[in-house]
């Protein structure tokens, strides 16, 4: 087996075994087998001089900087000329041989290696000046930290985040406004982080697409005048290169089709292809224009259009009060999928397209993904603009912002504006209802299925409507309803937290529940003085709680909610209070607990407290990296607060 390929295979196997052992409490291989594979990896890394950034043989040190330094590129990194015509590609190539490869949609990064080690990484920036991101690049999932070539080597490539990782990261963000719009936006923010530990968690991948001529002339003379041989050499050094195919005038059309057929199954974002002359010496001899190099050209997909008829304008409300028009049309096939709706974005576009019901329109998928309306043949509109909100019936108004007109609901109590309350209610530390994302809640509110929190427990009344929704189905519906039913049994602190009372987090909810012996009626009747007497509550939080229960509408909603749920009382018979009087601060990653919340819950269950920052009142700082130079470690040392590892904690406070 190829040694570089084996290095990558061993790295993945060993990392998976480590994750299973330390994070999932599962053993997928014996210690003997792990050590054997680890030794094999060490030997291969020594033989080849290649060490991947995520190799288990190295310990990644993260770096935090106050800003990203700027640096000028030795030569401008020009954009490529573009075409959407395959015949134009064929004409451009002429009788020459070429290499056709993916044009990946991420962030271009330039890597420089000196003496076999990654020396510097700089973003493309504006093409002339980029940002230095060396510490972040060292955490990219698949780049070599060390290579066998010991001269100076500069490699250009694209940093990308795969769709699968993008979806996982977005799924962990509860606020829909905070979710990333696409993998490229996420990648750009990840690569340019000031804290490289954040970059490491984003699973950024690097795909090389070109190499600057090395100073070593013997290397150039050997094979550097061939684009494909450059790719082969980069692969031998341990780099992943963009997928490429050799082409000529005869097979270029078929090769373009080969790539286009793969788009729907690719796990990485792309926005076209790049055609480069195979003979790099010839390519260099052509020079460049003021804007473009002449050795390469980009190919953008020709947007597939279809003609259809507009059947309806659906008005979709959001939490900001904005009401967007959405075009509903007869289903058409585009890029292999059926499409029947497209956002019109605002009133200005609605008027510009003069969209009227029944109009003959042309639609396409931008970048083969996002449905858009490209034109209107009959132009009978514009369609009427509603004077009332589709969700609450409140009065609407047209506002002009940045030269565009948009429609807004003026009702401050519109349910669409309370999406965050619904999202908070279903989150893990509240009612813990899986299968209802913020986007799903927006759709339910938009359709009038949810007006108040108790309506969530009556979604079963709308089964037929829900299973017909795009992205839903019987299985998704059943999973959601099962989770809703399971949430009916809830502990009091989680229920109080789920109500969304101003300034009341889960920790405060636990203190309140414990102080009133887990009796919701006593909590609802408590005055500000009683609530203020609870440790860490105080007058401001006490007033927020009292104001909530004194609000007639909220009190009525709470009464209805209590009829839907069964508040579970904790079993206090075996509760240990051996941590009473102790305050902990937890920082860094954990190995024996799923996350910090799990450890925090254990400490609080045993009478202890968990704070967010180190102070003179802190009893212990838990940090697996005891010797790190983090601000919390420094503060703990200056105050004489003991810093203990997770293992120390388990040893000292092991439950009997």
Q: Which residues of 297-319 are buried (b: 16+ CB within 10 A; e: fewer)?
A: bbbebebeebebebeebebbbbb
Separation CA 395–CA 409 (nearest Å): 6
Catalytic pick among 82, 84, 96, 103: 103
Taking alpha carbons only, the member of 292, 232, 251 closest to residue 259 is: 251
Omega cis (within 30) before 459: no
Q: Which residues contact 251 (CB under 8 A, 6 or more apart)?
A: none
Q: Which residues contact 385 (CB under 8 A, 6 or more apart)?
A: 347, 350, 396, 398, 407
- Phi first, then psi: give them for residue 507, nearest 5 degrees: -65, -45
Separation CA 36–CA 12 (nearest Å): 15
- DSSP notation for 74-139: SS--PPPPEES-HHHHHHHHTTS-EEEEEEE-SEEEEEEEETTEEEEEEE-TTSSEEEB-HHHHTT
Separation CA 373–CA 305 (nearest Å): 9
In the residue annotation, 103 being an active-site residue is answered as yes
- Would you tell me how many other CB atoms lie within 10 Å of the CB of residue 356? 18
Using alpha carbons only, what angle is made at residue 214 by residues 210 and 219, rounded to the nearest 5 degrees? 105
- Helix, strand or coil for residue 581? coil
Give me the active site residues, please. 103
């Amino acid at each position: 087996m190829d040694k570089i390929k084996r290095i990558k295979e061993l790295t993945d196997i060993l990392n998976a075994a480590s994750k299973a052992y330390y994070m999932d409490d599962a053993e997928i291989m014996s210690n003997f087998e792990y050590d054997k594979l680890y030794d094999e990896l060490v030997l291969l890394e020594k033989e080849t001089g290649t060490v991947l950034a995520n190799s288990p043989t190295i310990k990644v040190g993260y770096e935090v900087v106050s800003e990203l330094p700027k640096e000028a590129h030795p030569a401008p990194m020009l954009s490529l000329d573009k075409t959407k015509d395959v015949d134009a590609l064929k004409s451009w190539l002429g009788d020459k041989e070429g290499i056709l490869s993916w044009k990946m949609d991420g962030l271009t990064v330039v890597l420089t290696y000196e003496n076999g080690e990654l020396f510097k990484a700089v973003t493309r920036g504006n093409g002339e000046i980029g940002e230095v991101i060396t510490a972040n690049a060292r955490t990219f999932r698949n780049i070599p930290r060390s290579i066998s070539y010991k001269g100076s080597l500069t490699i250009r490539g694209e940093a990308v985040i795969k769709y699968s990782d993008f979806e996982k990261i977005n799924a962990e963000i509860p606020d829909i406004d905070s979710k990333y719009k696409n993998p490229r936006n996420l990648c750009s923010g990840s690569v340019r982080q000031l804290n490289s530990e954040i970059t490491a968690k984003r699973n950024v991948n690097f795909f090389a697409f070109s190499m600057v001529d090395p100073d070593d002339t013997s290397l150039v003379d050997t094979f550097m005048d061939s684009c494909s041989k450059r790719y082969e050499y980069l692969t031998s050094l341990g780099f992943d290169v963009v997928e490429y195919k050799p082409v000529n005038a005869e097979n270029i059309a078929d090769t373009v089709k080969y790539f286009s057929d793969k788009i729907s199954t690719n796990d990485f974002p792309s926005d076209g292809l790049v055609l480069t002359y195979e003979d790099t010496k010839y390519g260099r001899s052509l020079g460049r224009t003021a804007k473009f190099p002449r050795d390469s050209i980009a190919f953008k997909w020709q947007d597939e259009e279809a003609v259809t008829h507009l059947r309806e304008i659906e008005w979709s409300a959001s939490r900001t009060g904005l009401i967007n028009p959405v075009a509903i049309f007869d289903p058409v096939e585009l890029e292999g999928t059926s499409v029947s709706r497209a956002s019109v974005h605002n009133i200005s576009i609605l008027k510009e397209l003069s969209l009227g019901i029944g109009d003959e329109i042309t639609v396409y998928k931008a970048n083969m993904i996002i449905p858009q309306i490209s034109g209107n043949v009959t132009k009978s509109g514009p369609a009427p603009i509603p004077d009332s909100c589709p969700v609450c019936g409140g009065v609407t108004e047209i506002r002009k912002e940045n030269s565009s007109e948009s429609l807004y609901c003026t009702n401050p109590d519109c349910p669409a504006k309370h999406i965050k309350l619904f999202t908070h209610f279903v989150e893990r530390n509240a009612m813990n209802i899986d299968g209802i994302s913020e986007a799903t809640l927006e759709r339910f509110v938009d359709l009038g299925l949810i007006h108040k929190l108790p309506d969530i427990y009556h979604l079963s009344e709308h089964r037929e409507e829900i299973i017909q929704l795009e992205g839903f189905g019987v299985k998704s519906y059943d999973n959601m309803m099962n989770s809703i039913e399971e949430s009916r049994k809830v502990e009091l602190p989680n229920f109080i937290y789920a109500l969304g009372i101003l300034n009341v987090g889960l920790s405060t909810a636990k203190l309140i529940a414990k102080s009133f012996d887990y009796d919701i009626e006593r909590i609802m009747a408590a005055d500000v003085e009683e609530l203020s007497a609870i440790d860490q509550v105080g007058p401001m939080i006490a007033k927020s709680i009292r104001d909530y229960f004194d609000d007639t509408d909220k009190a009525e909603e709470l009464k209805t909610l209590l009829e839907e749920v069964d508040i579970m009382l904790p079993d206090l018979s075996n509760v240990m209070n051996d941590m009473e009087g102790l305050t902990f601060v937890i920082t860094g990653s954990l190995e024996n607990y799923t996350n910090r919340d799990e450890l925090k819950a254990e400490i609080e269950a045993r009478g202890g407290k968990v704070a967010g920052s180190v102070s003179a009142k802190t009893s212990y700082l838990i940090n697996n990296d005891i010797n790190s130079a983090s601000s919390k470690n420094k503060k703990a040392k200056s105050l004489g607060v003991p810093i203990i590892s997770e293992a120390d904690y388990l040893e000292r406070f092991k439950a009997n």
